[in-house]
């Protein structure tokens, strides 16, 4: 249970004491990336949802620990509007990411 509390603290550490009123908020800059099947993923497609954007790598030890938590969050809160987008930063791209994801799915 402690690991979940720690993640929550990390995610909220940058939050200021006052929440900016909705009318004064700026939209996040748009971007488009390709998923493992070559389909486009556009941030603008998630407008109005809470998006947890995770930058990770197959060589990152901490990432390997937190990815299952993010999958759990996504599954648990998707009906409440949460979307989790993982962006792999591996230089070799899908060549190393696809086998990593396949292995993780087998272990579940």
**Per-residue pLDDT in tens (0 to 9) along the chain, 108 residues:** 333 334 444 445 455 557 778 888 888 888 898 888 889 999 999 988 889 999 999 999 999 889 888 888 899 999 999 999 999 999 999 999 999 888 877 766
pLDDT recorded at residue 45? 92
Max Cα-Cα span within the chain: 45
Q: Does some domain include residue 10? A: no
Q: Does some domain include residue 6? A: no
Q: Does some domain include residue 37? A: yes
pLDDT recorded at residue 100? 87
- Indicate the number of domains in the chain: 1
CA distance 42 to 84: 13
Neighbouring-strand partners of residue 33: 41
Q: Does some domain include residue 94? A: yes
pLDDT recorded at residue 26? 82
| End-to-end Cα spacing for the chain | 20
- pTM over 0.95? The answer is no
What is the domain extent for residue 103? 27-107
Q: Does some domain include residue 53? A: yes
CA distance 105 to 108: 5
pLDDT recorded at residue 14? 52
pLDDT recorded at residue 108? 60
Whichever domain contains 65, its CATH number is: 3.40.30.10
């Amino acid at each position: 249970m402690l690991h979940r509390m720690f993640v929550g603290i990390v995610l909220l550490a940058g939050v200021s004491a006052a929440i900016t009123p909705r009318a004064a908020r700026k939209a996040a800059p748009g971007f488009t990336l390709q998923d493992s099947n070559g389909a486009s993923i556009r941030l603008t497609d998630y407008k109005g949802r809470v998006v947890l954007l995770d930058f990770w790598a197959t060589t990152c030890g901490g990432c390997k620990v937190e990815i299952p938590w993010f999958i759990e969050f996504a599954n648990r809160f998707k009906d409440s509007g949460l979307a989790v987008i993982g962006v792999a930063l591996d230089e070799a791209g899908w060549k190393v990411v696809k086998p990593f994801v396949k292995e993780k799915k087998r272990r579940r």
